[in-house]
């Protein structure tokens, strides 16, 4: 069998084979050795210094940072016919090395696509220019607020459920007030895409607008770095906006920004599911090695039937996630009618399955599974993060049922 949990080469296009090979080389040469040699770093080094500059510089040199930046600016244009599938392949491979890094880079992919589709030419010139010139420049996508983000996913399209962050138009500017939390790259981004209510009289789907807000805009303050359970090489942060004024041309989408963002970055859930899959593959590979080296009870662990059963279960789950991921990614690329349902399905299935896979990995390592210097506990922590990224599993399940049974389940989560 080919590598467990990864699509065989024969299923890939030339572009995908090349991207996976490039990414695998980067992960095996740069990321994995760094993580293995610095097990305590994610806990004891200040967030601002935690990721050494060469990690991003090497990602940049390999072309992994600038996916979505148009080729005219020097970025990597993926074949649109297979774009979501390629994002899945790259995110899986990156996450074998470190999932915080995947989240860090994926924000850049997402915002590059939003910039490309929605920003005026002169702002694309400015921001793609700066993004290409500085391999450390990060971007963040700010939706979540203190009041439950689940309302946004369902969504309750009524004025009472509108975002608390507000933007008011005055004198050629938009004045933004509010607070965003749990934002990937929120602590160290240079450019933020911020969603705010601009029409309190209508529901969230019609009254939410999006803005480009550079970090140095007066009134924008990064108020904290969230120290998280896993994904600790991505600095999750909180940002407040106090009479933060951006010029008119920084408005990206007025009113229907949530719908547009989903259309323009449809591979979002694919990338999230793929990130989880990569963690599971890494946990499986380390565990397969361990049980074929460690002798207990006079024989290799793998020769104990209960151990073999657990290993088989891990491998089967990885293959199942990989198959559903491919099915969902193809649906995104083809714009199939069942795309939305499949994206939520793969998000939930991958998060739950990979937590199980990592749980088995911890179990099969015995006491080593809990030791920081071995690294298995990190996979488990990283996997847990995916339960809450891009909607919770319960909300995603509810979305699946709403899609499958719109006449009945559709009705009681608010009008759509
Ligand atoms: C690592 C990480 C990175 C993130 N990155 C970003 C980012 O870059 N940008 C961004 O905008 N956000 C980001 N988020 C936020 C994420 O999208 C939200 O945390 C997630 O959608 C859940 O929202 P919440 O935390 O407000 O939970 P809540 O909405 O408060 O939910 C709490 C609990 O209530 C349940 N619940 C809520 N409503 C219902 C209902 N109607 N019926 C049944 N159960 C319900 C939920 O399932 C959950 O169990 C990130 C989160 C994490 C953990």
In CATH, which superfamily holds the domain spanning 261-413? Butyryl-CoA Dehydrogenase, subunit A, domain 3 (1.20.140.10)
Judge whether 251 and 194 are in contact, CB under 8 Å.
Answer: no
pTM: 0.96
Tokens found for residue 227: 């120290």
Average pLDDT of the segment spanning 346-375: 97
Q: What's the gap in Å between 189 CA and the centre of ligand 1?
A: 21
Judge whether 413 and 402 are in contact, CB under 8 Å.
Answer: yes
* Banded pLDDT at 410 (limits 50, 70, 90): confident
φ, ψ for residue 316, nearest 5 deg: -65, -40
CA 364 to mean position of chain CA atoms: 28
- Kindly report the protein residue whose alpha carbon is nearest to atom 7 of ligand 1: 183
Percent with pLDDT over 70 in the chain: 98
- Kindly report the protein residue whose alpha carbon is nearest to atom 51 of ligand 1: 389
Average pLDDT of the segment spanning 361-370: 98
Q: What's the gap in Å between 397 CA and the centre of ligand 1?
A: 13
The owner of tokens 């934002």 is 183
- Kindly report the protein residue whose alpha carbon is nearest to atom 27 of ligand 1: 148
Q: What's the gap in Å between 225 CA and the centre of ligand 1?
A: 17
Domain residue ranges of the chain, discontinuous segments joined by +: 9-133, 139-258, 261-413
Cα–Cα–Cα angle for 132, 125, 113, rounded to 5 degrees: 70
Average pLDDT of the segment spanning 341-353: 97
Judge whether 232 and 382 are in contact, CB under 8 Å.
Answer: no
Average pLDDT of the segment spanning 345-362: 98
How far apart CA 9 and CA 2 sit, in angstroms, is 9
Task: Answer yes or no: is pLDDT of 412 > 60.
Answer: no
Tens digit of pLDDT for each residue in 199-250? Answer: 999 988 899 999 999 999 999 999 999 999 999 999 999 999 999 999 999 9
- Determine if ligand 1 sits within 6 Å of the CB of residue 258: no
How far apart CA 11 and CA 277 sit, in angstroms, is 18
Task: Answer yes or no: is pLDDT of 401 > 60.
Answer: yes
- Determine if ligand 1 sits within 6 Å of the CB of residue 385: yes
Task: Answer yes or no: is pLDDT of 393 > 50.
Answer: yes
Ligand 1 pocket, mutate which of 389, 397, 401, 411 (most atoms under 8 A from CB): 389
What's the DSSP call for residue 390?
A: T
Tens digit of pLDDT for each residue in 158-209? Answer: 888 889 999 999 999 999 999 999 999 999 999 999 999 999 999 888 999 9
Task: Answer yes or no: is pLDDT of 415 > 60.
Answer: no
Tokens found for residue 262: 């989903």
Ligand 1 pocket, mutate which of 144, 193, 204, 272 (most atoms under 8 A from CB): 144
Could you tell me the sign of the dihedral formed by the alpha carbons of 370, 372, 377, 381, in that order? positive
Farthest CA pair distance, the chain: 79
Instruction: Report which of 164, 262, 251 is spatially closest to residue 212, judged by C-alpha positions.
Output: 251
Percent with pLDDT over 90 in the chain: 87
Tens digit of pLDDT for each residue in 288-306? Answer: 999 999 999 999 999 999 9
> How is domain 139-258 classified at the CATH fold level?
Butyryl-CoA Dehydrogenase, subunit A; domain 2 (2.40.110)
Q: Helix/strand/coil (H, E, C) string of 148-208? A: CCHHHHCCCCCHHHCCCCEEEEECCEEEEEEEEEEECCCCCCCEEEEEEECCCCCCHHHHE
Task: Answer yes or no: is pLDDT of 353 > 80.
Answer: yes
Provide CB contacts within 8 A for 10, sequence distance 6+: none
3-state helix, strand, coil in the chain (%, to 5): 55, 15, 30
CATH no. for 9-133: 1.10.540.10
- Kindly report the protein residue whose alpha carbon is nearest to atom 32 of ligand 1: 148
How far apart CA 398 and CA 400 sit, in angstroms, is 5
- Residue 124 confidence (pLDDT): 98
């Amino acid at each position: 069998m080919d590598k467990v949990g990864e699509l065989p080469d024969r299923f890939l296009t030339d572009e995908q084979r090349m991207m996976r090979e490039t990414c695998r080389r980067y992960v095996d040469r740069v990321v994995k050795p760094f993580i293995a040699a610095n097990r305590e770093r994610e806990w004891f080094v200040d967030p601002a210094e935690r990721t050494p500059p060469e990690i991003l510089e090497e990602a940049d040199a390999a072309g992994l940072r600038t996916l979505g930046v148009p080729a005219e600016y020097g970025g990597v244009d993926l074949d649109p016919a297979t774009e979501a599938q390629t994002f899945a392949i790259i995110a899986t491979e990156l996450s074998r090395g470190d999932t915080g890094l995947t989240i860090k880079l994926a924000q850049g992919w997402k915002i590059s696509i939003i910039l490309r589709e929605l920003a005026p030419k002169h702002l694309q010139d400015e921001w793609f220019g700066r993004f290409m010139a500085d391999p450390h420049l990060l971007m963040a996508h700010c939706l979540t607020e203190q009041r439950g983000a689940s309302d946004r996913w369902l969504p309750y399209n009524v004025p009472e459920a509108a975002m608390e962050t507000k933007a008011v138009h005055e004198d050629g500017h938009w004045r933004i007030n509010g607070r965003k939390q749990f934002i990937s790259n929120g602590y160290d981004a240079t450019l933020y895409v911020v969603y705010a209510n601009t029409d309190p009289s209508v529901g969230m789907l019609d009254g939410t607008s999006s803005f480009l807000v550079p970090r140095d805009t007066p009134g924008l303050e990064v108020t904290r770095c969230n120290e998280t359970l896993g994904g600790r090489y991505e600095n999750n942060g909180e940002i407040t906006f106090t009479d933060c004024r951006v010029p008119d041309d920084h408005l990206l989408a007025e009113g229907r920004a949530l719908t547009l963002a989903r259309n323009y970055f449809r591979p979002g859930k694919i990338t999230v599911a793929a990130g989880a899959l990569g963690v599971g593959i890494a946990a499986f590979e380390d565990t397969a090695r361990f049980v074929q080296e460690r002798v207990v009870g006079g024989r290799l662990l793998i020769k104990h039937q209960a151990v073999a059963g657990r290993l088989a279960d891990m491998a089967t789950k990885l293959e199942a996630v990989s198959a559903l991921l491919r099915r969902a990614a193809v649906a995104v690329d083809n714009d199939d009618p069942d795309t939305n349902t499949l994206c939520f399905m793969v998000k939930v299935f991958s998060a739950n399955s990979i937590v199980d896979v990592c749980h088995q990995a911890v179990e099969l390592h015995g006491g080593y599974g809990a030791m920081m210097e071995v690294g298995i506990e990190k996979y488990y922590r990283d996997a847990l993060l995916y339960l809450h990224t891009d909607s919770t599993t319960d909300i995603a399940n509810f979305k699946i049922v709403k899609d499958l049974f719109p006449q009945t389940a559709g009705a009681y989560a608010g009008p759509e």
